[in-house]
Amino acid sequence: MHRSSFSITGDLVDVWTKTIYPAEISVENGMIASIKKIGDGASAIGKFILPGFVDSHAHIESSMLIPSEFARLAVLHGTVGTVSDPHEIANVCGMEGVEFMIANGKEVPFKFNFGAPSCVPATVFETAGAALNSDDVKKLLAKDEIKYLSEMMNFPGVLFKDEEVMKKIAASHAAGKPVDGHAPGLRGDKAKQYIEAGISTDHECFTAEEAVDKLQHGMKILIREGSAAKNFEALIELLEDYPKMIMFCSDDKHPDSLVAGHINQLCARAIAKGHDIFNVLRAACVNPVLHYKLDIGLLREGDAADFIIAEDLISFKILQTYIDGELVAENGTSFIKSVASKPINQFDCKEIHPDDVKIKVTDYPVTDGKIPVIEALDGQLITNRLQLTGKEVNGEWASDLEQDMLKMVVVNRYHHALVAKCFIKNFGFKEGAIASSVAHDSHNIVAVGVDDESLVRAINLVIKEKGGVSCCNKKEEKVLPLPVAGLMSVGDGYKVAEAYTAIDAMAKSLGSSLAAPFMTLSFMALLVIPHLKLSDKGLFDGDAFSFV
């Protein structure tokens, strides 16, 4: 749908002059050649021309779609670009994984802006498929396609000036590229020290107080609303006082969520709360482009013709999306074509047996007659640590449905090893199990279930496909294969979303009230987020940064 030159009229929302007026935009060779007011600039045309939306922090892998398919869906909602951290595939496939994302993203008219993963592996307390040292990071940062150093999750390493960590940060600064942060709960002097190391953003704030603390030290705050972590309600009021310091992001968005909407949904919610349209568009469009120095147009003469046509400034229903002057989506139809892509992966483990997931009473820590239990929190990546009375059956700890205390396990997907086991609360299952090879950050296989047989069935479904998400109950089994690094499908985005919707519904039918059971499960092995998590090596205390 590419046209070398054309004109379009509508009510231009000018974020630079903070005015809205009827205008004609002339596009030539993918650039905005001119913007002219129509008539006296007062009469309304009834459709609005806006800069395209930018997701300021996204892991494309979490959509279970390769970049080209992600783009097909995102443009429907007015998204023209992303700031994308390929951290997930890098933890599985290393440099080859990052190269895969860049190459596939170039196949479609969409502006992916990838970062150099800073924490591969994320910690030494888990088994990953690859490692990127400071020399590897420096090589990536030399590439034009790499726009920044991805989230520095190792904030203890920053505070203690770990040599490798500081080399990675220095390499990014030397390349003139910003450094993303990741420091949940960090406040006061420690936050100040972390920021002064040259780290410019954070998307992990879950209270306004934490965000203000970081804003006052010059850090930009990304308001995150993904499929699992939802911080919009807690943080959106900061937009009024800090309009140049706030951006919108999804972080992790499952395929069904991406079909429903993207950054446009956050704009609609912000407007519904009474926020100024120009502040909203600064967060959704302008601030990411300026901060990361992106090659994305912002509706100025001489800019790339990256803009969208919206039906209104309330619902942000998108009528058309243009990227470099090309019409890529119109009235719910994406003109981006699917791209054939050969999967890359790293998966080498054998099927497991019920004996592998049993927990002997003598093998599990007991304090005052109680055992440590992870408490999953709906809509949050952070967990609580509980001490609860375990259910003992024949010398083993078993799931206790009355307490909603279920067995969770992590299986090393890279080579044969002992299975790590613990208990988790709030999944609510009354039968069956779910399993997934999407398990941040090292993407081993994580599973939760009510009994050992169900756990093993769910895990073995994933192993058979060399990656995927699975669910089983007493009568049936479902699996969504993810052959690209055990994280992404090579299938059509809509079909993947449909398959995910079906397996998500099946997981909820087991009894879970979680908004996104698979997404929540995927973060239960994420050691860099407190308080209690499970890696393939054991139960981990995120506060003490050591095994329980």
For the chain, the structural domain boundaries read 53-294, 354-547
Task: Encode pLDDT of 13-29 as tens digits.
Answer: 999 999 999 999 999 99
The whole-number average pLDDT for the span 264-275 is: 98
Question: Is the model's pLDDT at 37 over the cut of 70?
Answer: yes
Q: Which fold has domain 53-294?
A: TIM Barrel (3.20.20)
Query: Three-state DSSP class for 112?
Result: strand
Task: Encode pLDDT of 389-405 as tens digits.
Answer: 999 999 999 999 999 99
Q: How far apart are CA 158 and CA 378, in angstroms?
A: 30
- What are the CA-CA distances from residue 36 to residues 22, 48, 501 (Å)? 9, 15, 46
What confidence category does residue 2 fall into, taking pLDDT thresholds of 50, 70 and 90? low
Q: What pLDDT shows up at residue 45?
A: 78
Q: How far apart are CA 270 and CA 225, in angstroms?
A: 12
Number of H helices, E strands in the chain: 16, 30
Could you tell me if 249 and 59 are in contact, meaning their C-beta atoms sit under 8 angstroms apart? no
Provide the mean pLDDT of the chain: 95
What confidence category does residue 43 fall into, taking pLDDT thresholds of 50, 70 and 90? low
Question: Is the model's pLDDT at 387 over the cut of 90?
Answer: yes
What confidence category does residue 212 fall into, taking pLDDT thresholds of 50, 70 and 90? very high
Question: Is the model's pLDDT at 41 over the cut of 70?
Answer: no
The whole-number average pLDDT for the span 44-71 is: 95
Task: Encode pLDDT of 415-441 as tens digits.
Answer: 999 999 999 999 999 999 999 999 999
pTM of the model: 0.94
Task: Encode pLDDT of 85-128 as tens digits.
Answer: 999 999 999 999 999 999 999 999 999 999 999 999 988 999 99
Question: Is the model's pLDDT at 529 over the cut of 90?
Answer: no
* Number of alpha carbons in the 13 Å side-chain half-sphere of residue 378: 9
